[in-house]
Each structure stands twice: as C-alpha cells, then as structure tokens.
Chains A and B, each alone.
Chain A
Amino acid sequence: MSLQTISYSPINIGRWLVWLTFVALLILAPLLFSSGGSLSLLSLMGTIMIFALSYNMLLGQSGMLSFGHAVYSGLGAFFAIHAINLSASDSFYIPLSLVPLVGGIAGLTFGILFGYVTTKRSGTTFSMISLGIVELVFACSLMFPGFFGGEGGVSGNRVFGKALMGVSFGPQIQVYYLIAAWLFISTVAMFAISHTPLGRIANAVRDNPERAEFIGYDTQRVRYLMLILSGFFAGISGGLSAINFEIVSAENVSAARSGAVLLFTFIGGIGFFFGPLLGAIIGVLLTVMLSEITKAWLLYLGLFFILMVMYAPGGLASIIMMNFRLMANRLFIPLLPSMLKVTSAGLLVFFSVVMLIEMTYHLSLESAQGTTIQLFGAQIDTAQSSGWLIAAVAFIVGVAVFLRSRTSFMDAWDEANAEIERRIAGSGR
C-alpha cells in the first residue's frame, strides 16, 4: 500500500491582483502623466525605487542601518557608464538593455569586498563603519580622475549601435520602459529573496541575533550575504541612473546620496515590503518639487523625518495599513472625529511653522529682494510684525489644541487596536 500525500495550494488571488496592478501602473503611468517633465520624474522614481528596495533589504529585513549604501549604486553607475562608452567606441559590446546588469555585478563585487569588513560588526558599529567606507570611496573618487572623471564626472551617450525594432533608447519614453522593466524584475526578485530561507533567517538575525546563533546560524555570514545581494540590486539601480542621466559624478558615491536613500526608505516604511516604493515616490516628489518652491526644503524633509521617527516609526506604509485594518474591522468611523481634530490641529501647527520658517529664511537670505513674500497665495511683509504675530498665535493655539486632543485620540486609537488584537486572538482559539 503506497502512502499518498495530497497537496493543495490555492492560487493566491490577492497576491496576483497586487502584482498585476503593479504591472498595469508601470505601463500606464507615462500615459497618465504625459508631460515631458513628469516622464523624467517617473524614470528617476523608478531608479530610486530599486535603490530604496535594495536598501530595505539591509535596514528593514536584516536590521543593518547603513550610512553608505550609495557606494554600491554609485560604483555600479560608474561601471555602467564605462560599459556604455566602451560599447559606443566598439571596443566591447553589450546591448544597452543589459547595461544595468554590469552595474549590478559591480555592486555585487564591491559588496563582497566591502561587506567583508563592514559586516564583521552589527548594530551601531556597522553604521559607523559604513559611513567610513562611503567617505573612503568618495575621497578615492576624487583621487583617481582617470576612472571617476574628477569633479566633472564621466558622461556618455546611451544611443549606440543599431536600433533594434525601432528602439534606440534615444527618447525618454523608451528609457522609462527599460527602467520599468528592470524595476519589475528587481522587485519580484527582491520579494522572492525575502521569502527564501536566507531572507527569513535574516529577519531572525535582525530580531534576535543571539537566538539565531543558538540554532546554528552564523549571523555575520547572513549579514554578509544580504549585503552582497543588496549591493547587486543597488548596482542595478546605479546602472539605470547612468543610462537615465548619461552622466555619473563623485556625488553618486557620496554620503549625502546614502543619507537620502535612508530618509526615503524610512519615511516610506521599513516594516512592509512596499514601504520603500512609497518612500521613493514621496522622496522624489519632495526633492524635486519642494526644492523648486522653497530653499528650506531640506529643513522640512529633516523635520518630517524626525517626526516620523518619533511618532510613526513604521513609516507611511504602517500608517496606511493600520488605518486599513481599522476600516476592515469597522472601527474606523468611531475614531474619525478625534482623528480629524488632531489632524486639523496638526495642520495649523504645520502652516504656522512653514510661515515662520519661510519668513526667517527670507529675512536672512533674500532680504535684498524686498521684504514681502508670497505664501499660501497671500502677500506677507516680513518687515512688519503682523505676519509674525499671526504665525506665532497660530503656532501656540495649534500646539495647545494638538496636545489636548492628542491624548484622547491616542487613547481611542490604542483601544481600537487592542480590540482588533483581542478579535484576532479570539478567532485563533
């Protein structure tokens, strides 16, 4: 008598739906936002999305806070631009659509090299060493102008060889679809990695390294492998950015670039796989659009980041998912009044702070161009006290209302979430 096992795995409709929506969005995005500027914005977002996802393989999945992730994407970008230039001069041939792979392999190689040193330690020390490595590479990049192009960087031309079926990668739209294709492949691959035994044990190493060692895993090795894989995807994103901008400079391997991806990833949310995607969109929008509106954009970005660290450590993704969970459990509506109160008080504080910052900036940096500024559609004279008075009163009132309404909101919020926990525990019994 033979033993028969029956296996049954249902098609996970929800997951298919999510991935198909992702594909549809990638295809439709340039049709929805069709102006020239938004196309290059979308291309930029695509490269940053891969970068942020690869960063989250370290921070979110393995608990490694790196201040130097731009090393892998930047070096990948340098190798990619040299591959493009060599292909254009016929001394070596690789089709442009595969150039990101060159970047990826470069990122992987440097991951093997630098990761050996950085992953020897974990936690805070790892962070400090990663900062040391990025400074090292940045200083080196200025020292070897032959490869890194010195201050000006290395530029190239992505249109080389014969056009295949009319695709020459000259127009931005073709570059966008190349980026979108690589984004999709990389996202699927990174999602798959997070479900492999390695990805799972990386989570264990993040949560409790001691126990991971007790069950026989070498935590250093796990960190090392995750860093190498993450370097590979960072390199791909670097290769794509080399194709997109056709120029790579020392700024690509700088600590500033590494800090930016940390900000974006964290704001998006490190606890969920899709968080970095969200963070990349918001980060690019903030960087590109906010920097056009105001000179103080980095200050806003920093303050926003600090608020997220203090009050929403799960990032925007967790805020969205928590609210969805409330809605699914029909607990959202009762919370709405207190939530609205808190949000409106928060908005009042936000507007008054923006007003104060903009007026101060104007006084200190642009006072030569007159004393009035345009803010929220109104003319404000920074030389007169009325504007300052309005901002100060709005600030004080906003903070007072916020602090008062926050306590009751937090109580209601905690109570609702505790109720959900009880329901989950109850259904599991």
Chain B
Amino acid sequence: MEFTVISLLNGLSYGLLLFMLSSGLTLIFSMMGVLNFAHASFYMMGAYLGFAISKTVGFWPALVLAPLIVGLAGAAVERIGLRAVHKHGHISELLFTFGLSYVMVELVQLIWGRAAVPYPIPAELDGPLFTLYALAFPMYRAFMMLVALLMLLVIWLLLTRTRIGLVIQAALTHPETVEALGHNVPRVFMLVFGGGCALAGLAGVIGGNAFVTEPAMAATVGSIIFVVVVVGGMGSLAGALLASILIGMIQTFAVALDWSVLSALAKVGLSVSPEFPVYRLLSITLAEVAPILPYMLLVLMLIFRPKGLLGTREG
C-alpha cells in the first residue's frame, strides 16, 4: 500500500516534469510545424545555468534567472537560425535543431567539463515531507509538483485569458489570417519558441538537482519527450499532459517491480525448467524491461491508434 502511494507520487512528479518539457515542444510543433530536436538540450542548459547561478547567488534567484536566460537563448536561436532555414522547409528546420543539439552538448562540456556537476537540492527543501510506514516522500518532489502545477495554471491562464494568448491560439490554426489582421506572426513565433525553451529551462533548474546534471542528460530525456508527444497526439497539449503522466507512472512503477512471466506462471502453479528454449525471455523482469516500455508503448500506439491519445490529425 505505502509502496503504491509513494510510487504514485513519484511517478506523478516525474510525469509533470516530462510535461514541462513536452508542453513547450508541443506548442512549438503545433504552431510552427518545427520539431525542436534540441528541446532537451535547452533542458540541460537550464540545469547547468541553475547550477552556476545557484552557486553564486542561491537557488531561488536561479529559479527565475536561468529560465529567463534559456528563453532568451531560444528566442535568439529562432531569430538567427530557424528563420533563415525556414524557406528550405520543415526537414531543414529539423536538421538545424539536430545540429544545434550536438553543438549545445559540446558547449556545455566546453564550459563545465565532461563529468556530472554537484548541483545540490537547496537546504530548506532537503528532507522528507512525510513518512508512510518506512517509506519517505521527499519534500523536493512535492516542490517539483508544485512548480509544474503552477506552470500549468499560468500557461492555461495565459493562453485562454490574455490577449497575446488569444493571438497565439489563433496563429496555431490560421497564421495567415492573424497576419492579415495586423499581428506580427513571426514575432509571435519567436515568443512561443523562446517561451517553450524557457519552460524547458525551468524544468532543467528543478530537474537537474532532483536527478543528475551531466552532459548526457539531454539525450536521456530527449527521446522520451518525443515518445510523449507522439503518444499524446502531435500538437495536443492535453494529450501531452496525459501521456507525460502515463509514461512517468509506467517508468516509476516498472523499475520497482521484479515480476516476470516466470513468476506469473509460478503463481498459477507452473514451473519452467531452465532448459526450456525461451527461458531467458520468460525470466526477464519488469524492472529489466523498464527502459524499453515507453518505446513499446509508442510502437503499440502507432499500430492501434496512429493519431495518438488525444490527437486529431493523422499522417
């Protein structure tokens, strides 16, 4: 019981972190048709900036400053790079961000070295929030959830209750009409790209010290958020939220369970000898397959529901 509750909370906090990343990716994708391959690199940049700033002025200023800098960097990338390759089509834009992901990883290594950096959890958030029997739930995880939920609220308010939000929503579906009405759509694009990157940066600041801040962190999370976006349905924010939490849960629960086909068979009274041809396949535990579960989900989703959980378009 206590295992279920704690895993549920852990899965939820990880899923919400994934959503902070995938929401920006989805917004950028549905608006500009650009798949930002370097999105996870901005997450990494946020973590490293959070580390550097919190070392000099503390964690709380870093929580504000680092996402701002990442957002500005994202806006600059859009203005200088993406806008120039836009005329060559979506494949070129994707290739540009692909190259950018290489460069960003190398730049981070250039500045902070190849090893992981010691990015600590702030002292006031260190420690358990509550203890259930013997299992503790860390306070920092709760803080991550709080930040993610606040962010969710702010995005929702921004998109539905403000003027710029309405322009963004209109530009998602009818950019030409919005432009004809006198709005500067390229600037809206730049804003959305920068904003999406800032969200990734914020996720980096709070995720970097919860997990590990290292040059490989972008690659680890990068392919997972792609899975989230495809499973949720390309361009659907609600779908991205659903898929993020689903994948967060799957990954958290799977690593803790050592169930296998073998143990399931043993439960119903069947035992398999090690000489059985597919014994190795049957003895693989759920914890062992945990890394491939998101990708299995992706493949199954594409076979049975190609438009994703809440997606509206196919192809």
Contact A310 B98 (CB under 8 A): no
Contact A65 B91 (CB under 8 A): yes
Q: Which residues of B27-67 have CB atoms within 8 Å of chain A's CB atoms? A: 29, 33, 35
Q: Which of B35, B280, B292 contacts A140 (CB 8 A)?
A: B292
Q: How large is the interface on A (under 10, 10 to 19, 20 to 34, 35 or more residues)?
A: 35 or more
Given A125-B230, A132-B227, A364-B110, also A143-B103 (CB < 8 A) = no
A131 at interface (Cβ–Cβ under 8 A)?
yes
A360 at interface (Cβ–Cβ under 8 A)?
yes
CB distance from A38 to the nearest CB of B (A): 27
A123 at interface (Cβ–Cβ under 8 A)?
yes
Q: Closest A-chain residue to B112, C-beta based?
A: A364
B84 at interface (Cβ–Cβ under 8 A)?
yes
A136 at interface (Cβ–Cβ under 8 A)?
yes
Which residues of B have CB within 8 Å of A399? none
Residue from A121, A124, A146, A299 whose CB has the most chain B CB atoms within 10 Å: A124
Which residues of B have CB within 8 Å of A365? 110, 113-114
Q: Which of A129, A255, A313 contacts B92 (CB 8 A)?
A: A313
Contact A131 B223 (CB under 8 A): yes
Q: Closest A-chain residue to B101, C-beta based?
A: A302
Q: Closest B-chain residue to A64, C-beta based?
A: B91
A144 at interface (Cβ–Cβ under 8 A)?
yes
Contact A299 B81 (CB under 8 A): no
User: Which of B13-21, B189-197, B298-306 is the contact stretch?
Assistant: B298-306
Contact B102 A127 (CB under 8 A): no
Contact B303 A143 (CB under 8 A): no
Given A132-B298, A139-B292, also A309-B95 (CB < 8 A) = yes
Which residues of B have CB within 8 Å of A263? 99, 102
Q: Mark A62-84, 1 if CB is under 8 A from B, else 0.
A: 01010100000000000000000
B75 at interface (Cβ–Cβ under 8 A)?
no
CB distance from A384 to the nearest CB of B (A): 20
Contact A299 B103 (CB under 8 A): yes
Q: Which residues of B272-315 have CB atoms within 8 Å of chain A's CB atoms? A: 280, 284, 288-289, 291-292, 294-296, 298-299, 302-303, 306, 314-315
Which residues of A have CB within 8 Å of B92? 309, 313
Contact A132 B81 (CB under 8 A): no
B90 at interface (Cβ–Cβ under 8 A)?
yes
CA distance A9 to B105 in the complex (A): 55
Contact B85 A309 (CB under 8 A): yes
Which residues of B have CB within 8 Å of A305? 95, 99, 102
Given A124-B33, A364-B110, also A313-B88 (CB < 8 A) = yes
Given A132-B223, A139-B291, A306-B103, also A127-B94 (CB < 8 A) = yes
Given A306-B100, A313-B92, A364-B111, also A117-B106 (CB < 8 A) = no
Given A121-B302, A302-B103, also A357-B91 (CB < 8 A) = no
A133 at interface (Cβ–Cβ under 8 A)?
yes
CA distance A209 to B233 in the complex (A): 22
Q: Closest A-chain residue to B224, C-beta based?
A: A135
CA distance A233 to B232 in the complex (A): 34
CB distance from B89 to the nearest CB of A (A): 9
CA distance A249 to B292 in the complex (A): 19
B229 at interface (Cβ–Cβ under 8 A)?
yes
A319 at interface (Cβ–Cβ under 8 A)?
no
B234 at interface (Cβ–Cβ under 8 A)?
yes
- A-B contacts counted at CB < 8 A amount to 126
B137 at interface (Cβ–Cβ under 8 A)?
no
B107 at interface (Cβ–Cβ under 8 A)?
yes
CB distance from B305 to the nearest CB of A (A): 11
CA distance A266 to B114 in the complex (A): 28
Contact A298 B102 (CB under 8 A): yes
B226 at interface (Cβ–Cβ under 8 A)?
yes
Contact A123 B96 (CB under 8 A): no
Q: Which of B35, B113, B280, B315 contacts A128 (CB 8 A)?
A: B35
B219 at interface (Cβ–Cβ under 8 A)?
yes
CA distance A133 to B292 in the complex (A): 10
CB distance from A52 to the nearest CB of B (A): 15
CA distance A125 to B91 in the complex (A): 11
Contact B302 A309 (CB under 8 A): no
CB distance from A334 to the nearest CB of B (A): 27
Contact B110 A132 (CB under 8 A): no
A361 at interface (Cβ–Cβ under 8 A)?
yes
Which residues of B have CB within 8 Å of A65? 91, 94-95
Contact A306 B99 (CB under 8 A): yes
CB distance from A129 to the nearest CB of B (A): 6
Which residues of B have CB within 8 Å of A303? 99, 103
Contact B35 A124 (CB under 8 A): yes
CA distance A135 to B225 in the complex (A): 13
Contact B306 A128 (CB under 8 A): no
Given A65-B91, A136-B292, A313-B88, also A296-B229 (CB < 8 A) = no
Contact B85 A310 (CB under 8 A): yes
Given A65-B91, A127-B94, A136-B295, also A302-B230 (CB < 8 A) = no
Q: Mark A111-124, 1 if CB is under 8 A from B, else 0.
A: 00000010011111
Residue from B91, B113, B114, B230 whose CB has the most chain A CB atoms within 10 Å: B91
Contact A125 B234 (CB under 8 A): yes
CB distance from B222 to the nearest CB of A (A): 8
Given A65-B95, A361-B110, also A255-B219 (CB < 8 A) = yes
List 20 additional contacts besides A124-B90, A132-B226, A305-B95; criterion CB under 8 Å.
A121-B314, A122-B315, A124-B35, A128-B229, A132-B299, A135-B295, A136-B295, A139-B295, A143-B288, A143-B289, A144-B280, A263-B102, A298-B105, A299-B102, A299-B103, A302-B99, A309-B85, A309-B99, A313-B85, A357-B110
A-B contact pairs, 20 of them (CB 8 A): A65-B95, A67-B98, A123-B315, A125-B234, A125-B315, A127-B35, A129-B298, A132-B298, A143-B289, A143-B292, A144-B280, A255-B219, A259-B102, A302-B103, A303-B103, A306-B100, A309-B92, A309-B95, A309-B99, A364-B113
